[in-house]
């Protein structure tokens, strides 16, 4: 039996709230700023504990933000009739710069939704729009 559009929307909203409450993501302090099937905007507030030098985010923190944003973009427009078991399959990141003690903003959109695999594009910048990273993510959701 197919879920109603109302139920699909309810589940997407639940996923938005659940993602930032998981132990790892909440530990990073990630905040969802925008969430729609067209894309998401996710913020990683600056915290010295997420750096090596007190100034620039550790690459692993940036990668975690990217993975979270890419997955969020997929979930934001996901058809829950197709499943709920998920995992990142592939993540490719190009680091372009640093944000120098500032929050990071990750804008992500799902480019293609296949039977099991979805493909997302993620751009990370500082609040002034200076690029920090660009990434591609492949995400799998199955029954």
pLDDT value for 135: 98
Report, as an integer, the average pLDDT of 61-87: 97
Find the domain containing 41 and state its range. 5-142
Q: Residue 1 pLDDT more than 80?
A: no
Question: Of the candidates 140, 136, 94, which has an alpha carbon nearest to the alpha carbon of residue 118?
Answer: 140
CATH number at residue 138: 3.10.129.10
Number of domains in the chain: 1
Nearest alpha-carbon partner for 57 in 93, 7, 10, 84: 93
Full-model pTM: 0.96
- At residue 98, the pLDDT reads 92
Average pLDDT over residues 63-89: 97
Q: What is the mean pLDDT of the chain?
A: 96
């Amino acid at each position: 039996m197919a879920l109603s559009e109302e139920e699909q929307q309810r589940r997407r909203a639940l996923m938005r709230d659940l993602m930032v409450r998981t132990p790892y993501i909440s530990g990073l302090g990630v905040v969802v700023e925008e969430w729609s099937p067209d894309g998401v905007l996710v913020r990683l507030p600056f915290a010295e504990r997420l750096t090596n030098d007190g100034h620039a985010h550790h690459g692993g923190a940036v990668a975690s933000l990217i993975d979270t944003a890419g997955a969020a973009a997929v979930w934001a427009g996901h058809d829950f009739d197709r499943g709920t078991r998920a995992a990142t399959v592939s993540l490719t990141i190009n680091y372009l710069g640093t944000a120098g003690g500032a929050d990071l903003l990750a804008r992500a959109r799902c480019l293609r939704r296949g039977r099991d695999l979805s493909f997302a594009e993620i751009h990370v910048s500082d609040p002034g729009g200076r690029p920090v990273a660009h990434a591609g993510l492949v995400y799998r959701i199955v029954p």
